[in-house]
Amino acid sequence: MLRSVAEFATRAAATVAAAITQEVADGRPRVALSGDWTLTALPAPVAVLQARLRECALLEPSWDLSAITRLDSAGAVILWQSWGRRWPAKLAANDEQRVILARAAAVPPRQAIRPPASALDALVALGSLALAGLRNAREFVTLIGQLLLDLVYLCGHPRDIPLKEFSAMLFKSGAQALPVTALVGFLIGVVLSYLSSLQLKMFGADIFIVNLLGISVIRELGPVIVAVLVAGRSGSSMTAQIGVMRVTEEIDALATMGISRTVRLVLPKVAALACAMPLLVVWCAAAGIVGGMVSANLEMDLSYGYFISMLPKAVPASNLWIGIGKGFFFGLLIALIACHFGLKVRPNTESLSALTTASVVTAITVVIIVDAVFAVLTRGIGMPGL
Amino acid sequence: MNEDASDRVIEMRGVTTRFGSNLVHDGIDLDVGRGQILCLVGGSGSGKTTLLREIVGLLAPERGTVRLFGHPVLDPDTRVQRDVRRRFGMLFQQGALFSALNVFDNIAFPLRELRLVDENVIHDLVLIKLAMVELEPRHAPLMPAELSGGMIKRVALARALSLEPELLVLDEPTAGLDPDLADNFVQLIGALQRQLGFTVAMVTHDLDTLAGLATRVAVLAERRIIANCSPADVLDVDHPFVRSFFCSEHARAAMRATRRT
């Protein structure tokens, strides 16, 4: 305790800059150090000081540390490194300084951490990418299988059906998404109608705006826009929610209570999104049609009554069913992908952010791919005049 | 006390804190001198951790001032604030290690932010800090998620010590450790304090930690510091909280033991 008190007296005083004095005494070089050799008191740039010390060390002088007022591990490391990681032949230092220097001396030298790059690295990276993809696919299929087994189980045990979670999810991802999907759908309808009307007017084909708008919005744009919005809105929140539950061990807590995480967490999300998405698609397509109708009325004086009466003739009802079907599958896929990535989160922030990104990007990509498959499979259905 | 102002590491004057209509602190004055190990005790919800957060400037009190090393911790000049913040280290209750960085990078982080020394020096400094908290170089590449509770505390302590702080602030240093590990950790902090001579301000519930480390005890009750004295003298304070906190036979024995050392 006494020693510390003495040291505090010096600490309380203003810091003294570290200084090096080089001299020749009795025909032998001698280096005396003075001042505060502590991390915060070292004069910047430290590299200059280090170079100076190394220069001095080349002369193999006797070192005198007795004038150093304060020495901490940073000062000790800088000294030790400039001595070439060995004790100098002649050193005047007190016991306390020797203890601090000994701490620096005990550190193993820094080793090259990274092995040199080899020509095989690219191949290894490609291979591990492929393996990661395969692993992802297998885990995804396992998740789907588990959900099917859960469904079978719930058929036998209807009391275990997580109805509360389902309805909460339906509200969060469905009802609360109504304003944004309506707004986006409406604006897309306005823009699409305005741009096409400019072209159609050139050919005098104004009335075909109904066909164009009806088919594209109901069959194609509605489902895809809603899917992108929902993937960004609900998909990311599902991944983040399950991911944080992994980080905080809440999922493990569920497991110890004997509650299946797929039944309680994944299934309600998947079911809710598969129900909410078709409804959102209809809602968004309706908003798009209204937007297009308003725009056509302003731009081409097409009356609302005509537009509405033409719509059923121009757009066969099967298009609506295709749009709803797409919505169902997209919702299923987005929720499955979101939960799959959420369950893969490891307990650190980096993994959480990387997997949330991966979840949204994968969901949107998969939705577009599945949309293309749909387009091929339904190419003979719902086109007027076919 | 005959210390002059420069000897005070922490200086709180009239600190008042209010959360909504709930008055937590009502004009708290607290001084901590250099080299002291101050232990802040108080009932649950008495605002110990809040006071600690005000000391390190994470929370601004409604009224009153907190000065560290003679400078206001929430100085309007951000340079003064930064310089003050570089002079203390904080150990959070859960460690608060950066989960995306491994042990080495966690300890190296404050050093790198200083932009003063090169990677070679940082490497040696980090390994010295690791050795100080009795960890080995092979632990350096581990991620925080791979560490046990005791190791997280040690790494967090090493990070708090990485800028050679003059003040170490500890929030429940032994919470969540089993008695054996807690004992070890208390001894480690005590040994490091003797070696490096820093000042310590901590909050704890644990009597063994208090008895093993504290040179002063501040008791927080009824929104004030009702006692600020040596651990041995705190037993003589006549207050319901002090009596119930230090009442057990075990507690009294532990506290009396500090009188001898």
- Residues 6 or more apart whose Cβ sits within 8 Å of residue B59: B17, B50, B53
- Assess whether A75 and A146 both reside in one domain: no
Residue A13 has pLDDT above 80, yes or no: no
Sign of CA dihedral A304, A306, A312, A316: negative
- Assess whether A274 and A173 both reside in one domain: yes
- Assess whether A100 and A172 both reside in one domain: no
Least confident of A134-143, A148-157, B45-54: B45-54
| pLDDT, average across residues B131-158 | 87
- Assess whether A264 and A154 both reside in one domain: yes
**A67 part of a folded domain:** yes
- Assess whether A290 and A236 both reside in one domain: yes
pTM: 0.70
What pLDDT does residue A322 have?
A: 93
Interface test with B, best of A73, A352, A353 (most B CBs within 10 A): A73
What pLDDT does residue A282 have?
A: 95
CB contact under 8 A, A12 and B6: yes
Enter the tokens of residue B203.
């909050």
**A122 part of a folded domain:** no
Of B6, B99, B164, the CB nearest to A39: B164
| pLDDT, average across residues A355-365 | 94
- A294 pLDDT tier (thresholds 50, 70, 90): very high
What pLDDT does residue A8 have?
A: 39
Report the range out of A251-265, A290-304, B217-231 with the highest average pLDDT: A290-304
What pLDDT does residue A93 have?
A: 82
How many whole angstroms separate alpha carbon A170 and alpha carbon A274?
A: 9
| B116 touches A: beta carbon within 8 Å | yes
**A116 part of a folded domain:** no
- Assess whether A255 and A187 both reside in one domain: yes
CA-based nearest residue to B26, from B57, B50, B9: B50
Residue B182 has pLDDT above 70, yes or no: yes
Give the minimum alpha-carbon distance from A328 to chain B in angstroms, rounded to a whole number.
Answer: 37
- Assess whether A85 and A38 both reside in one domain: yes
Of B35, B118, B119, the CB nearest to A5: B35
- Assess whether A31 and A155 both reside in one domain: no
- Mind listing the pLDDT tens digit for each residue in A312-350? 888 888 999 999 999 999 999 999 999 999 999 987 778
What pLDDT does residue B234 have?
A: 80
Residue A92 belongs to domain with CATH number: 3.30.750.24
- Assess whether A143 and A243 both reside in one domain: yes
CA-based nearest residue to A364, from A187, A232, A188: A232
**A371 part of a folded domain:** yes
Residue A185 has pLDDT above 70, yes or no: yes
- A39 pLDDT tier (thresholds 50, 70, 90): confident
Measured CA distances, B191 to A66, B188, B197 (Å): 25, 5, 10
- A152 pLDDT tier (thresholds 50, 70, 90): very high
**A38 part of a folded domain:** yes
What pLDDT does residue B251 have?
A: 66
**A118 part of a folded domain:** no
- Mind listing the pLDDT tens digit for each residue in B23-61? 888 888 888 888 888 988 887 778 888 888 888 888 888
CB contact under 8 A, A11 and B166: yes
How many whole angstroms separate alpha carbon B158 and alpha carbon B104?
A: 10
What pLDDT does residue B249 have?
A: 61
- Assess whether A87 and A198 both reside in one domain: no
Domain count, chain A: 2
What pLDDT does residue B6 have?
A: 61
Measured CA distances, B89 to A55, A158, B52 (Å): 35, 56, 12
- Assess whether A170 and A96 both reside in one domain: no
What pLDDT does residue A155 have?
A: 92
DSSP conformation class of A45 = P
Interface test with A, best of B11, B82, B106, B117 (most A CBs within 10 A): B117
Least confident of A106-115, A130-139, A277-286: A106-115
Residue A1 has pLDDT above 80, yes or no: no
Percent of chain A residues topping a pLDDT of 70: 94
| Domain final residue, candidates A82, A105, A128 | A105
- Assess whether A158 and A200 both reside in one domain: yes
**A68 part of a folded domain:** yes
- A112 pLDDT tier (thresholds 50, 70, 90): low
CA-based nearest residue to A344, from A357, A355, A330: A355
Measured CA distances, A332 to A73, A166, A357 (Å): 58, 14, 19
| Domain final residue, candidates A86, A105, A124 | A105
| Domain final residue, candidates A55, A84, A105 | A105
Report the range out of A77-91, A219-233, B184-198 with the highest average pLDDT: A219-233
- Mind listing the pLDDT tens digit for each residue in A252-284? 888 888 888 889 899 999 999 999 999 999 999
What pLDDT does residue B256 have?
A: 65
Domain that holds residue A41: 6-105
A329 vs A13, higher pLDDT: A329
Q: Give A-chain residues touching B98 at CB under 8 angstroms.
A: 349
Which residue in chain B is spatially nearest to A96 when comparing CA positions? B195
